[in-house]
Amino acid sequence: MYLRIMRAGQRVLFVQTAFIGDAILATSMVETWHAARPQDEIHLCVRKGNESLFAQHPFVKRTWVWDKSGGSLKRYARLIGLSAALRSMRFGAVFTPHRHASSGWLAGLSGASVRSAFAVHPLARVFTHLHAHRFGDGTHEVERNHDLIREWANGLMAPRLYPSPSDARRWDALSNGSIGSWVIMTPMSQWQTKQWPIAHWEGLIQTQLEGDSELNMCLMGSPSDAPFLTELARAVNSDRVHVAAGWKLLEVAYAMSQVKAVVTNDSGPLHIASAMNAPTVAVFCSTSPSFGFGPLSAHHEVVEIQEKLACRPCGMHGHRRCPESHFRCGFDVNVDQVYQAMHRVIAAASR
């Protein structure tokens, strides 16, 4: 018989070693668990690079890190070491929305009495509680993840991040205290078919420059995005367009909490915006909001091609190039669609 009653004061672990967006959405589980069981001690396990997101999280006692860099031998040697360290913590429960064998290994060797995952997990046999993975029907990822903890912590909470005062400094210096007169745009994606064409981003910026003399724009991205963002800013040639590449994730989160809107692709920054409840416009190209990774902010819009394409969506994560070589799902989302959506969101959030 499965253990369904969990005593108070347990040490619990949430494992999500996928990408930034997945780790951010998993904070919904942390928020929900803490609201229902504030006496429990919460731990997180994430991939190296994502741990900075939780540096000041008030409900997370410790963040464990799996370094996936290097070859397979090094990667899995670290996984074995991590599993031993986690087992020594004597967790009462382990929850993993991550659907890969590595998370099953960590859960299975944890010694926890409750181990909860999705039934599609490749190591489903090591879990005590399995749940249907509702996908493609519009169910959001945070709702899916909530199924894993519902028996012990009901009442779904939104994902949330907690920037510190030090995370505010770069944005406050850049914006010079002009709260609310900015829009953040994140034009880049590691998947080309998830990235609205750069020419369209340039058109959006130009349209905004011509239509509103008060609004400043900040182009944000990773360090590797810097050359592309700099070139984009150079192309529009305006002192109202600024580049901020390579900022820490919580610095980005703070900045998003201070602006009138965030315009983004279906990528990690979308989920940072959701966690900060920033007004959001999300442009979906090859992927679909029906996958469950759309915006969650109180004021948001999704913009996508209006015509139904037989080839769309062409995959969950996007591709390096369009499999059909036309990329209509990106090119046919026009500038005016996004511009109008941005101003509707700004107006709605200002009421």
Output the domain CATH number for residue 21.
Answer: 3.40.50.2000
Q: What tokens does 52 get?
A: 């900075």
Strands annotated E in 222-325: 241-245, 261-265, 280-283, 300-303
The answer on pLDDT for 2 being more than 60 is: no
Q: Are residues 83 and 223 in the same domain?
A: no
Poorest-pLDDT segment among 7-11, 79-83, 255-259: 7-11
Per-residue pLDDT tens over the stretch 226-245: 999 999 999 999 999 999 99
CB 301 within 8 Å of CB 344: yes
Q: Are residues 202 and 114 in the same domain?
A: no
Q: What percent of the chain has pLDDT over 70?
A: 97
Residue 296 lies in domain:
165-350
The β-bridge relationship of strands 280-283 and 60-66 is unpaired
Q: What b/e readout covers 161-196, taking b as 16+ CB neighbours within 10 angstroms?
A: bbbeeebbebbeebbeeeeeebbbbbbbbebbbbbb
Q: Are residues 215 and 329 in the same domain?
A: yes
Average pLDDT over residues 138-142: 95
Determine phi and psi for 11, rounding to 5 degrees. -100, 120
Distance of CA 270 to the CA centre of its chain: 6
Average pLDDT over residues 107-113: 97
pTM summary value = 0.95
Q: Are residues 26 and 102 in the same domain?
A: yes
Per-residue pLDDT tens over the stretch 295-344: 999 999 999 999 999 999 998 888 999 999 999 999 999 999 999 999 99
- pLDDT (0 to 100) of residue 1: 36
157 is a domain residue: no
Per-residue pLDDT tens over the stretch 177-231: 666 699 999 999 989 999 999 999 999 999 999 987 789 999 999 999 999 999 9
Domain count, the chain: 2
324 is a domain residue: yes
CB 64 within 8 Å of CB 45: yes
Per-residue pLDDT tens over the stretch 325-339: 999 999 999 999 999
Q: For the chain, how long is the longest CA-to-CA vector?
A: 67
Place of tokens 């130009």: 206
Q: Are residues 222 and 113 in the same domain?
A: no
